[in-house]
Chain A
Amino acid sequence: MRNLRRSAIAVVLAVGACASAAVGAELLLNDPAASLVTSAPPALLGPITESGRTGWDCAPEHAATAKTAAAAGLPTD
């Protein structure tokens, strides 16, 4: 009996998920731009050694001040 009840709940949930997906897709057809998301946030820059910022060889500082996307390690998606 308990198993039957669990199965029934699972079926109801699955049908509900399918229905909401269908409604979501229908809404998207009406206004698909609503589903658009921005690009990814920038990645975190890595660790800095004790003497890293006293010289000219600090990779995170170089990336943080770089002018191009590639040198800054900006996202590609």
Chain B
Amino acid sequence: MPRPPRPRLPRAFPPTDVTIRVVVAAASVLAFAAAAAGASAQSYPGPTAAPRTTDARALGAQAREREIHERFMRGVTAEEHGDWNAAAAEFRRIVALDPPEPRGSTARYDLALAEIHLGHDAAAAALLEDALHRDPRFAAAAANLVALHLRRGDTKAAQAAGDRFVAFAPDSALALYGRGLAALKAGDLDTARADFRKLVGTDPTYAVAHYDLALIELRAGRDDSARAELERALALSPSYARARFALGTVLLRDGRRADARLAFDRCARDAADPALRALAIDLRDRLAQQ
């Protein structure tokens, strides 16, 4: 007997449009909540606080700070581009605004740099002195003051500036080199020897310091020590023309004319300075004639 077909039961909860909309809405809420939770884990910098004062002095101070900041940026950019007039104008204004340390001494240092390039050496020296008065351990200002005096040929001032620099930065290569050079030019051979010896003790590969030591020994009448220093300089830098020329002069003083002639010949080939090359050629040729 065939079984009668099983009647299909109606679904308990047939989906309706309303149900579908509720499910979609719930999913949207969950997705939004998840996104909001993710965003809350990030951090954003707070907005710049708006001025909350109407006090004229406070507003004036804020404007002054802003002007110093802007002029520093413009002045440094001008110096980097070699526009010294523009740089000087910016830093003169900052100096007039007189910001606290370390910006006050930094502005004077930057203005001094511009003044040097504009040929106002005396003004630059005064500015660097002022910067060091405000910050006695401002090493870059001390270094530029020594360099400035050496360029001007004021060895006495260079020595004084070098003494101050070495006093607070005794291991600085620039301090030792600057004071040593000033002492050598002034004839203070003991100070010059001590400074260049210390420099080569820290950095024995610096050929120029050996050359200056050779000059010190030559002026002290110690030709053998001078020749040893020059040989060290030339071992470190074989194409060092000035040291080669100096070696030629030491050999000439020692009566070794053939060796001196070879040294002047090599100097003439290595020298980039036309005056040094001409002198070396002249001495080489004169030695060849004799």
* Interface flag for A69 (CB, 8 Å): yes
Given A32-B253, A36-B218, A43-B147, A77:B174 Cβ within 8 A? no
Selected from A25, A38, A60, A77, the residue in CB contact (under 8 A) with B282 is: A25
How many Å from the CB of B234 to the closest CB on chain A? 13
**Chain A contact residues: over half helix, strand or loop, or mixed?**
loop
Q: Are A38 and B185 within 8 A (Cβ)?
A: yes
How many Å from the CB of B60 to the closest CB on chain A? 20
Stretch at the interface among B2-10, B51-59, B200-208: B200-208
Q: Which residues of B have CB within 8 Å of A25? A: 279, 282-283, 286
Q: Are B209 and A47 within 8 A (Cβ)?
A: no
A interface, how many residues as a size bin? 35 or more
Minimum CB distance partner of A72 in chain B: B173
Q: Are A74 and B79 within 8 A (Cβ)?
A: no
What sequence of 0s and 1s flags, for each residue 2-31 of chain A, a beta carbon within 8 Å of any chain B beta carbon? 000000000000000000010001001101
Minimum CB distance partner of A42 in chain B: B147
What sequence of 0s and 1s flags, for each residue 142-154 of chain B, a beta carbon within 8 Å of any chain A beta carbon? 1110111011000
Which A residues lie at the B interface, using CB under 8 A?
A: 21, 25, 28-29, 31-33, 35-39, 41-50, 52-54, 58, 60-61, 63-77
Which B residues lie at the A interface, using CB under 8 A?
A: 68-69, 72-73, 75-76, 79-80, 87, 102-103, 106, 109-110, 113, 116, 138-140, 142-144, 146-148, 150-151, 169, 171-175, 177-178, 181, 184-185, 199, 202-203, 205-209, 211-212, 215, 218, 237, 240-242, 245-246, 248-250, 252-253, 279, 282-283, 286-287
